[in-house]
Amino acid sequence: MRETPSEPFRYLRPPADENSELTGFIRLRAALETPELRNRAVQRYARKAVDPQRPELTQQLADSAARSLGLFAGLEQVQGKQVSGLQALADFLESNVPEAERARAGEMFVRILNGALFELDAVAREQAGAKPMPPEQVQGFMTQAVLALSDAPFYPAPMTFLLKDFKQVQASVFQVARAPGQSIVYLGCALLILGIFAMLYVRDRRLWVWLSPQGGGAQASMALSSNRKTMDVDREFDQLTARLLGRLEKAP
């Protein structure tokens, strides 16, 4: 999508579930916006991730997971701004964690976020009565789901389209044309070609003779022009001059 024609397009790439549908992603996004499902996913993640011999850490990890999911869902303001997705986690770390410890803290937050989202997807599937996703597809789906959920706020369109089926239709097109003036066109083309050759090989010459009275007789002036300057033009002019002026002198 784009808001104005001068802007580049922005793309949202939600992952397809095991049935090649958007149902899994839409269900996960709806669960992220449901407080009850988020709380259940956080508690389940904390119980699975903490060593049973150290139960005192369960609540601490649950609080960290709840904070990660809350920031990711855009439920908290960071630096006075309402942000969500991975950008919210980055802004939170920048404003609350010293620079020297941000890299380690960022890895921990992302690991906790991925685990909490995985449990959130499992809780949402249980509530909807859906089967668990095959293990070989979980990692790819969750990786793309985290990125798509992070970019979803930048896609404010109220709907999305999913291609359900496709039927290829083939067709052949035949064209029949009738040209009554075809012979005239060919004749014109032939004459045009002859005209071009005539321009190249036929010389255009013009001869002027000017007679003016002089004394008891007349004076003759001659001029010759040609479209190409060649040695034959001068020789022909001399021959024409001698022949025409010679006849004029012999004339009574």
Write down the domain spans for the chain: 23-154, 203-252
d(CA 238, CA 232): 10
DSSP label at residue 110: H
- Is pLDDT above 80 for 147? yes
Residue 142 binned pLDDT confidence (cut-offs 50, 70, 90): very high
d(CA 73, CA 71): 5
pLDDT score recorded for residue 219: 80
What is the DSSP code string of 43-107?
HHHHHHHS-TT-THHHHHHHHHHHHHHHHHHT-SEETTEE--HHHHHHHHHHHHS-GGGHHHHHH
Question: What's the whole-model pTM score?
Answer: 0.61
pLDDT score recorded for residue 248: 53
Where is pLDDT greater, at 236 or 249? 236
Average pLDDT, integer, range 211-225: 81
Q: Are the C-beta atoms of 125 and 132 separated by less than 8 Å? A: yes
- Is pLDDT above 60 for 251? no
Q: Are the C-beta atoms of 62 and 46 separated by less than 8 Å? A: yes
pLDDT score recorded for residue 250: 53
Helix (H) or strand (E) holding 121: helix 102-128
Handedness of CA 189, 191, 194, 198 (dihedral sign): negative
221: three-class secondary structure by DSSP: strand
Residue 141 binned pLDDT confidence (cut-offs 50, 70, 90): very high
pLDDT score recorded for residue 119: 92
- Is pLDDT above 90 for 11? no
d(CA 153, CA 61): 27
pLDDT score recorded for residue 27: 92
The pLDDT tens digits for 84-133 are: 888 888 888 888 888 888 888 888 888 999 999 999 999 999 999 999 88
- Is pLDDT above 80 for 146? yes
Cβ-based neighbour number of residue 25 at 10 Å: 21
The pLDDT tens digits for 178-203 are: 888 888 989 999 999 998 887 777 77
- Is pLDDT above 70 for 35? yes
Residue 247 binned pLDDT confidence (cut-offs 50, 70, 90): low
Average pLDDT, integer, range 43-70: 85
- Is pLDDT above 70 for 252? no
d(CA 157, CA 164): 20
Average predicted confidence (pLDDT) for the chain: 85
